[in-house]
Amino acid sequence: MTHISPSQIPATGEELARAIKSYRSDSPVTAGMEMELFLLNRDRSLPTPQTHDKFYKSVRQSLGDRISVEPGAHMIELKSGVHRDAVLLTKDLLGVLGQVTEHAAAHGLQVQPSSDLPGFPVGQLAANLVSRTDPETGKVRRVREIVDACKTHGWTNISDWGASTTSIHYTHSVADAGQMHRYAKVHAAMMPVYYAALENRTRENGVHDGLRLRRMMGARGLVAPYVFTAEDGNDFADRYVAAVQSNQILTMLDRGGHDAALPRPMTFRELEPEARNVGNLMHAASASWNVCRIKPIIDQRAARSGNLGLSDLLLEVRDLDVSREAVPAIAGWLQTLTRSESALSEAEIRLETLGVPVISNPRAAGLRTVAALAAVEISPRTLDTHFGDPRRNLTVRDAVEQVILPMMASDQSSASALGLWTTVAASPTAVFKHNAGAPHDSQRTALRTQAGVRRPSVELRTP
């Protein structure tokens, strides 16, 4: 069969919405994890693009597509396989990490366990980009095209974020649009817990950098408002697709599937008719960086026949701690949560009892989630920040003790994962925080100083 590029298959947002709403799967839930890492030379200087190229070619020979690039020459991403069991998922990802660490050492590099590099101004990190062409294929890298376009159009908050932070992403399958919406509300409502318990970035002036940077990225950055304002799964799909079609993009895929710079920021709807295709629709979808992101997988064989459908429907939980120690905690809890319909129902009920009404009043749940994220952003004792109903004296610690621990205990999850969360519940602050006492550069970029230290708005707007 002749290969047809996704950029040669016409598509509309309405077709994508219909595909999401009609998707059904009765397969067991599967999950995978991606882990972004920082690399430094042995003397803790930044590696050059040339050093990165040599390391990248070497590690790709061993791990293939398990490895991919990030914007910086001081970064790398690794992926697990797809699993049904959290222990196997953890073992797989840590096995890949071990191999990456060995390859890095062979090239005079060291893998960093934290999620930012406080010794370097972000401007320096943003200038230290990977090579423009892939050393294996000789083709221009998509990540460079996109980053270069961000700089051309002044989107430095996006390009700086991409080159200066790393995290773990956990992706799992869903049965249909309704279940996807329910999981999205639970994942979003738990984000204050994840940022508090798995805090992995520097605080400057007492402010959580990871949260502040995401807030600066606007509606693309933290919790998408439509997660809590959508009426049901179908409405969720419609609102998601509306947001995708409203996302401004700076590059598009041409007929050959190559990135081409746009003359100005444009939405999918504004592209020329021939450019409104599967490739560019998915490109616009990838330009959402919310902490809970939908990932529709297009069935390209069906699309070639003029029928836009999905081969899989995934939900991605983003921006979690990157440390080796946190991997089993993240995988263990999230697989407990996503293992079954009954686990999802239990999590919803437990959140309701804490005053985060994801079932009975999702809009109020959204407001309380944004308020809790604001509290975590400025509080040095993250586990003791407020969570849930403002009329009750509840904290993030209560969410760990009343949602995560009992659900993991009843699920018979691995002892190491449950033990880590038990330690979190007993801690005054984040257990996996690596940067306490790390030296900070007083010029940690205009990215930090632009936003000041204002408390973020708790307004939840309907798109």
230 Cβ contact list (under 8 Å, min separation 6) = 181, 236, 238, 239, 362
Q: What is the rounded CA–CA span in Å between residue 42 and residue 35?
A: 21
Q: Which tens digits make up the pLDDT trace of 304-313?
A: 787 889 999 9
Mean pLDDT of 333-341: 94
User: Which structure tokens are listed for 204?
Assistant: 């400057």
The answer regarding whether domain 30-168 maps to CATH 3.40.720 reads no
User: pLDDT grade, residue 394 (50/70/90)?
Assistant: very high
Mean pLDDT of 180-195: 96
Tell whether the model's pLDDT for residue 451 goes beyond 80.
no
C-alpha dist (Å) from residue 368 to 220, 316, 365, 380: 19, 22, 5, 20
Q: Which tens digits make up the pLDDT trace of 13-61?
A: 999 999 999 999 999 999 999 999 999 999 999 999 999 999 999 999 9
Do 212 and 448 touch, CB atoms closer than 8 A?
yes
Mean pLDDT of 217-224: 79
Q: Is the dihedral of CA 46, 51, 53, 55 positive or negative?
A: negative
Q: Which of 104-108, 201-205, 320-324 has the lowest mean pLDDT?
A: 201-205
User: pLDDT grade, residue 401 (50/70/90)?
Assistant: very high
Mean pLDDT of 64-73: 96
> pLDDT averaged over the chain?
87
What length is written for the chain? 463
Mean pLDDT of 117-135: 91
Tell whether the model's pLDDT for residue 298 goes beyond 50.
yes
Burial of 159 (0-12, 13-18, 19+ CB in 10 A): buried
What pLDDT score was predicted for residue 460? 37
Q: Which tens digits make up the pLDDT trace of 409-428?
A: 988 767 778 988 998 888 76
What pLDDT score was predicted for residue 459? 34
Q: Which of 144-158, 181-195, 392-406 has the lowest mean pLDDT?
A: 144-158
Single-letter amino acid code for the residue at 131? S
Q: Which of 111-125, 276-290, 345-359 has the lowest mean pLDDT?
A: 111-125
User: pLDDT grade, residue 165 (50/70/90)?
Assistant: confident
**Residue 375 phi, psi (nearest 5):** -70, -40
Mean pLDDT of 181-201: 91
Domain locations along the chain: 30-168
User: Which structure tokens are listed for 257?
Assistant: 């599937």
Q: What is the rounded CA–CA span in Å between residue 410 and residue 451?
A: 43
Q: Which of 50-54, 95-99, 223-227, 286-290 has the lowest mean pLDDT?
A: 286-290
Using the CB atoms, write b or e for 108-139: b if 16+ within 10 Å.
ebbbbbbbbbbbbbbbbbbebbbbeebbeeee
What pLDDT score was predicted for residue 431? 66
User: pLDDT grade, residue 276 (50/70/90)?
Assistant: very high
Q: Which tens digits make up the pLDDT trace of 360-393?
A: 999 999 999 999 999 998 888 888 999 999 899 9
Do 385 and 379 touch, CB atoms closer than 8 A?
yes
